[in-house]
Amino acid sequence: MDWGNYIVLGVLAALVLYSVILYNQLVTLKHNVDKAWSNIDVLLKQRHDELPKLVETCKQYMNYEQATLERVMRARAEVSAARERGDVGALGPAETELRLGLGNLFAVAEDYPDLKADASFKHLQGRISGLEDAIADRREFYNESVNLNNIRIEQFPDVLIARVFRFEAKPLLEFSEEEVRDVDMTALFD
C-alpha cells in the first residue's frame, strides 16, 4: 500500500469519527430538550394537584365568588390538556389564563380576612407561588435547551447529520406580549 491509500483511509476514518461525534452531540441536545420539558411537566402536575385543594379551601369562605373559582378550575383543565398533549403552543395561553385566574383569586381573597388567616390557605398560596416561580425557571431552561438544539441542527456541518437522522426543530415556549404583561391588580379589585 502506498501513502496515498493511507491518507485516504485516514481522512475517511476522521470523517466517520467526526460524524459520530456530531451525531452524539445532537442526540444529547435532543434529550436535554426532552428533559427540560419533563421538568416543566413535573411542576405542572404538582400545581395541578394543589389547585383543587386551594379552591376547596376558598369555597369554605367565598360563597359569592363561584365564578372566580370556576375560572381557575377551567384554566387548570386547559393547562392539563395542553401538558398531556405536549402542545407547547397551547400551553402558553392556558398558563396565562391560569395565572390571571390565580391572581384574581388571591386578590379576591383579600376581602375575606378569615380566609387569609386560614393556615391551609396560607400554605397552599405559598406552595402554588413557589411552584409558579419554579415553573418560570424551568421555562427559561427549556427555551435555552430548545434554542441550542435548533441552532445546532441548522449549522453546517451538523445540518447534514441532522437531516440524515431526521432531527427536528423544537418549539419554544413563548408568550405573546399580552400574556407576559403584568396583571392589572386594580382591575382585579373592581
pLDDT of residue 188 exceeding 50, the answer is no
Distance, CA of 125 to CA of 162 (rounded, Å): 45
CA distances from 9 to 2, 13, 14, 32, 132 (A): 11, 6, 8, 35, 56
Instruction: Tell me the per-residue pLDDT of 76-124, one tens digit each, with 9 for 90 and over.
Output: 999 999 999 988 888 888 888 898 889 888 888 888 888 888 888 889 9
Residue with grid cell 469519527, as numbered in its chain? 17
**Which pLDDT value is given to residue 175?**
67
Q: How many domains does the chain have?
A: 1
Q: What is the pLDDT of residues 48-73, one digit of tens each?
A: 999 999 888 888 877 767 888 888 99
The whole-angstrom separation of Cα 79 and Cα 73 is: 10
Q: What was the pLDDT predicted at 66?
A: 82
| Between residues 93 and 149, the one the model is more confident about | 149
User: What does pTM read for this prediction?
Assistant: 0.76
183: pLDDT confidence band, cut at 50, 70 and 90? very low
Is it true that the peptide bond before 157 is cis, omega within 30 degrees of 0? yes
CATH number at residue 8: 1.20.1440.20
In the prediction, which pLDDT does 7 show? 93
DSSP letter, residue 73: H
pLDDT band of residue 185 (cuts 50, 70, 90) is very low
pLDDT given for residue 58 in this prediction: 87
Query: Which residues constitute the domain of residue 73?
Result: 3-189
